[in-house]
Chains A and B, each alone.
Chain A
Amino acid sequence: MTTSLDAARAMRDFRETFAAVRAEIGRVVVGHDAAIETIMTAFFAGGHVLIEGVPGTGKTLIVRSLAQALGLSFSRIQFTVDLMPADVTGTRIVSENADGRREFTFVPGPVFAHVVLADEVNRATPKTQSSLLEAMAEQQVTVAGTTYPLAAPFFVLATLNPIEMEGTYQLPEAQLDRFLFKVRLDYPSQEELERIVAATTQADLPAVQRVLDPDEAPARVEAHKRLVREVLVAPHVERYVARLVHLTVPASGGDVDAVTRYVAFGASPRAAQALVLGAKVLALLDDRPHVAIEDVDRMAREALRHRLVLNFAAEAGGVDAERIVDEVLAAARRLRAA
């Protein structure tokens, strides 16, 4: 991409790929439009997604469909309390080579895939969770002192079950921060439920068609991700993002009442990165080479809600993070208009 014509062509290709994948997922997943778009946004932004939803709402189906449509490898790890880090990253085994000599050979774990579904990640011990989180942050795993890079693109979609909390290990805030967005999957509506029943109980189940050729899919996806990062961000948008994140910090003096009363710790700089990256994807989808304030606003809930650490008063008062994010957004808009 060297000219504006190439840029326009790349943007159009991105939009077409996104729309095609979205359409393929939509063939097998009924409803959850906003959640699917957020997941795909995080995928092309190069981040990972945490999904919170009750069982049976299509979490696995969404991720598998995404991998199939893009022609990428997919693996699923069911996190349990006895899951070991080696079960995630892989382990070294003793094997004989052609000369008959024994040597340690690394057997890659399920994390070595382009798209990984970490199902009920909060049921594993913190040690096992950490092994996955290192892979998410560094896109590499280290086993017995040897570092093995993960193939790009690497996308982790972890799920949390909001019920059956007994015997779970709640993810620490530092680990939650590593997820670009947090998506909430709600129950399908009655109409969607009817469509689900009709689509999944017939003889011929709908199947996802590949949008990208598996051989060139990783390169194409990486090109799209690079294009996302090249989207232009004006200084006033960067300033707006910084102000937005800063307003979530109680000690910032931002004078947002909900933050002062209910927030123990505000969003980290990763939140600002998530906002900008997500906004860049939305800008490309809107056929713009630059980010607008509206793109940032649309990403605010997904990027900020799991990064706010609420205090006891919020829990006692039944105040959720989304309400606080909304107030922060309103305050940021007021400040911008002033």
Chain B
Amino acid sequence: MRRARASAGAVGVDPQILDQLRRVRWRRTAREVQRIVHPVVAAAGTGAALAVLAALRGGTLAFIAVAGAAAVGLLVTLVVAIRSGWRRRLSRERAVVWIDDTAGLRGALATLVGVRTPSPLRDLLAVRNRFLLRNWTPERVVPAVIPVASCCAAVAGLAVLALVVAIAPRLLPAPPEIVVADTPLVAADTRGLATRGDRLVVGRDGGIRGGDGVHDGHATRAIGGGDGANATSWPTIAQERIRRSLWGEAWDRVRDELARAEETRRRAAGRTGRQPDARLATRGGRPGSEPAIAAEQGLANDAGAEPPATDEDGGNGIATAGPGSGAGDATDDRLFGSPQDEVHTAADPFALALAARVHTRGAGPRPPSGEAPEASPDERPDLAARQRREDAAHRMSVGPAYERIVRSLYAHDATPKGDTP
């Protein structure tokens, strides 16, 4: 019906005019569609970039918040873009008016298309419109099919997303270095250790201190279990998928380390108050990090000075107190980590983590024990060799009335001072 009306309205209009009108409409529609699509792409790209960032570096709740905000933003952008595009859409009647205004035809085209009653004046208008065709060619009324501003926004959004994907490997969190202290954390000197955010210091009292002295929760956030999120919920799964897709197998290793760190934290928290000595034991989550820490602390393995540690970690390679097996006279059988069930082929890379426990001396003063140290030599031995001159004490007579008082004052007994007269 509508098509029939439109065709009826086209009676008397030059086919060349109708064809050009159709081409203008197509060109403008193409531009308007892009003006809808580009903001949506820009919003989607930016939102996805933020969501990926949150998935990589944030906890599950942060990921949910950012992803939700990005989704809402995308939805709003979509609605606004479609609404504005719907308003700008051009029906044929509106198209001719728009062309009239854009090309400055002063209503010639709209009148020709809109007025259907034949008359000599309309014929004259048709003739004049044929001459006006060159004034409203598609290239003149729609100079650019691609809207530059919105296109730039879309490209920028995609560029942000690409940038985030490109730098994603650098965002792979380092596995935390676990320092287990068998002393209450408040008393432990961890100044030398606590210099990095990816290090956990677990104290005897169950306290946990991060790189800046406060547990930043990074390890637990990284494995998605520290903010109460269900591990089987879709955000967690989505976050895990993002990490796996961007980090690949490196993330598997880090995740295992983080999981072990979390387990260590829990166990250390459960051991509160059971270890008497205030000593620190360090265990590097990353191979090769322990010696640096030990040197930094000025500490050395001193297994003989400490009571033997009790291995309570069930074979997970975590030292709790006392000398570790890696510091004794034998090699830790779990030096290279826990055995893995997967069968690796020669082509598959696999991770080999050094998991030897290193026992170090804890910070802080040691309690006194054993023989007293020798006295320091005299600084002025020449003075010590010569006998000191004795000076006679001056004596004076004491009256009988004061004799008792004077004697009590200079008496060498344990009489409390309060008893003196």
A residues near B (Cβ < 8 Å) are 1-4, 6-8, 11, 230-237, 288-294
Contact = CB atoms under 8 A, between A and B. Distances in A.
Interface residues of B, number: 20
A239 to B, nearest CB: 10
B162 interface: no
Contacts of B97: 234, 236
30 contacts: A2-B120, A3-B120, A3-B123, A4-B120, A4-B123, A7-B119, A8-B124, A230-B119, A231-B121, A232-B122, A233-B115, A234-B97, A234-B110, A234-B111, A234-B114, A235-B114, A235-B115, A236-B93, A236-B97, A236-B107, A236-B110, A236-B114, A237-B107, A237-B111, A289-B122, A289-B128, A290-B112, A290-B115, A290-B125, A294-B106
Interface SS of B by simple majority? helix
A236 to B, nearest CB: 5
B65 interface: no
Nearest to A294: B106
Interface of B: 93, 97, 106-108, 110-112, 114-115, 119-128
A6 B127 CA distance: 13
Given A3-B120, A4-B127, A291 B114 contact: no
Contacts of A237: 107, 110-111
B135 to A, nearest CB: 15
Nearest to A237: B107
Contacts of A234: 97, 107, 110-111, 114-115
A290 B120 contact: no
Nearest to A286: B106
Contacts of B107: 234, 236-237, 290-293
A115 to B, nearest CB: 28
Contacts of A230: 119-121
Contacts of A11: 124
B108 A290 contact: yes
A209 to B, nearest CB: 31
A234 B106 CA distance: 11
Given A234-B110, A235-B93, A6 B120 contact: yes
Contacts of A294: 106
A282 to B, nearest CB: 11
A229 B181 CA distance: 102
Contacts of B119: 7, 230, 232
Contacts of B126: 4
Nearest to B109: A234
A231 B119 CA distance: 9
B15 to A, nearest CB: 18
A232 B120 contact: no
Nearest to B110: A234
Contacts of A288: 106, 108
Nearest to B9: A235
